[in-house]
Chain A
Amino acid sequence: MGASLAQLDYMAPSSVDEAVKALMASSAAKVLAGGTDLIVQMRAGRAKPGAVLDLKRIAGAVGIRREADGGFVIGAATPGAAIGEHAALAQAWPGVVEATNLIGSTQIQGRASLGGNLCNASPAADSVPAMIAARAIAVIVGPKGRREAPVETIQAGPGRTTLGPGEFILEFKLPARPARSADAYLRLIPRTEMDIAVVGAGVSLTLNADGSVAEAYVSLGAVAPTCLLVAAAGQALAGTKLEPAALDALDAAARAACNPISDKRGTAEYRTKIAGVLARRSAQIAYDRAKARA
């Protein structure tokens, strides 16, 4: 435990107002959900907050509920394991759930959250491409009250978010699902588990009655400073039944959007190629799932 950790202050407010006040009062405070990124960084000396603000006792921060219109609201600090256990959520959003459940080990899943995964702002975060493709909305609370923003607007760059002082994400909203809709998420890692994604691809789509794609959203992770919503990739699928030409166009659009780095986990060249491969495969899985619901 570092010297800075010995001086750490810990707060566990039970309401949003209390939390926002505490964050505004302490500029060095960082928000704590599952801690599976923050505590690692604190112990390595990469993060040195003077205080941590535990969200988990705030009403609404943990838990999953179904809205009347069929959408879902997920507390930002809900552990991934709970997300995986929610049958209705897994049925409506298999891609979001499988992406979330890929974060780390079973132990990490006992704590890691959508809010933490997004706001840690690693470009390789597993849940984020699936959430972006799903058109998820972040519900943000702060000193100016409540606001909503699409998930793809939250990451500003590696380790940085667009949240303002005193703001944190309370919950996520997933929209109601039209018929014949499904999503999927795939990632490439060197082992079979436990690795940070070298590339991640999330695809969410809705089919017309004739089986052609009505609309599709494609999001890529670990190939740019933030997770990307690749409009051109989604457009490449629109109106198609994922014929080879459509998949080729998808592959090309995915690769064209990449701006990756070369690091100890993969080269830029490799990441770009794999982005195309995973976009294809993820689209195929989402398509097959959607057809099965037709």
Chain B
Amino acid sequence: MSKKHITATVNGDPAEFLTDPGTTLLDALRDELGLTGSKEGCGSGDCGACSVIVDGRLVCSCLMLAVEAEGRRIETIEGLAHGSELHPLQQKFLEHAALQCGFCTPGLLVASKALLDANPDPTEEEARYWLAGNLCRCTGYDKVIRAVLDAAAEMRQERRVA
């Protein structure tokens, strides 16, 4: 079986790679494009550590075939910061100590960005339910939710000022 050639946009840049049709987008991102920020925690869509955004939709990259990425716009954790300028979510995660081992953090950040894109002013409950697909075993989620709500407030403030 010969590999398929895929062209997509990843974090705003043109990307291309070869892949077997059975390879997941997660494996292609990690192994072909060297973007190891997205993690495999379960391989079955139950932990969210592989979260990426495809054409504006939050998805588990372990449950998408790499060949489906053809022509699509993909955002990963590596695209969240602008150069050395961290995204407010990243900054708040650090300030609130919303990570301990850090393994679930990329997925949580991507999912949180998708949340705030869809709903810039979530309640605590809305944030918790949106992020229910991102398992964290270290933090008990308290500081994560505080960081997300704080980042949301700061981003709303920035938009008012801008």
The SS class assigned to the B binding surface is mixed
Contact A8 B21 (CB under 8 A): yes
What chain A residues lie within 8 Å of B46 (beta carbons)? 105, 194
A197 in contact (CB, < 8 A): no
Give bound CA distance, A192 to B131, whole Å: 12
Instruction: Tell me whether B68 is interfacial, beta carbon within 8 Å.
Output: yes
A107, B131: Cα distance in complex, Å? 9
Is residue A193 within 8 Å, beta carbon to beta carbon, of the partner chain?
yes
Complex interface: chain B residues within 8 A of A10 (CB) = 4, 21, 65, 67
Cβ of B21 and Cβ of A105 under 8 Å apart? no
Chain A residue nearest in CB terms to B61: A107
Cβ contact within 8 Å between A110 and B58: yes
Q: How many A-B residue pairs have CB under 8 A?
A: 105
Q: Quick check: B1 and A105 within 8 Å, CB to CB? A: no
What are the interface flags for B20-41 relative to A under an 8 Å C-beta threshold, 1 for contact and 0 otherwise?
A: 1111100100000000000000
Chain B residues with CB under 8 A of A8:
1, 20-22
Contact of A5 among B22, B64, B70 (CB under 8 A): B22
Tell me which residues across on chain B come within 8 A of A81, comparing CB atoms.
57-58
Most chain B CB neighbours (cut-off 10 Å) among A35, A42, A192? A35
Please, how many residues of chain B have a CB less than 8 angstroms from a CB on the other chain? 35
A136 to B4 Cα, complex, angstroms: 38
Asked if B44 is at the interface of the complex by the 8 Å CB criterion, the answer is yes
Contact partners of B4 in chain A: CB under 8 A: 10
Is B22 touching A7 in the complex (CB atoms < 8 A)?
Answer: yes
- Distance of A43 from chain B, by nearest CB (Å): 6
Please name the residue on chain A nearest to B125 by beta carbon. A192
Is A68 an interface residue, CB under 8 A from the partner? no
Determine the distance from Cα of A54 to Cα of B71 in the docked complex, in whole angstroms: 15
- A-B interface, 6 closest residue pairs, ranked by CB to CB distance from nearest: A105-B133, A5-B22, A193-B132, A10-B21, A8-B22, A110-B57
List residues of chain A with CB under 8 Å of any chain B CB: 1-2, 4-10, 12, 32, 34-36, 39-40, 42-44, 52, 54, 56, 79, 81, 104-108, 110-111, 192-194
